[in-house]
Amino acid sequence: MCDFEEFVFTCGHSTFRLKSYCHFARNDPNHQCFGVKKLKNVWDQTFACDGCVQRARHEDEMRRRHYGKDSS
């Protein structure tokens, strides 16, 4: 049972990260785990995910190009 952590962002998205391999995955040449994936920790983040931040920057840039330098 490999251990994972979940990161929950303010935008509502989440991502998982491998914390540690189980015995079988450590001994497998491709680190394949065919067992249960166990969630060890859930971390609430105080910011949006990278994809949402990039999307917001892109939309802001498009808005500035369309309406001029000052979008307010």
| Selection from 25, 16, 13, 14 nearest residue 5 by Cα | 16
pLDDT value at position 69?
64
User: Taking a C-beta distance cutoff of 8 angstroms, is the pair 12, 51 a contact?
Assistant: no
pTM check: above 0.85: no
Q: Please give the chain's pLDDT, 72 residues, in tens.
A: 999 999 999 999 999 999 999 999 999 999 999 888 999 999 999 999 999 999 999 999 998 888 876 545
pLDDT value at position 64?
87
pLDDT value at position 70?
56
In the chain, where are the structural domains located?
3-67
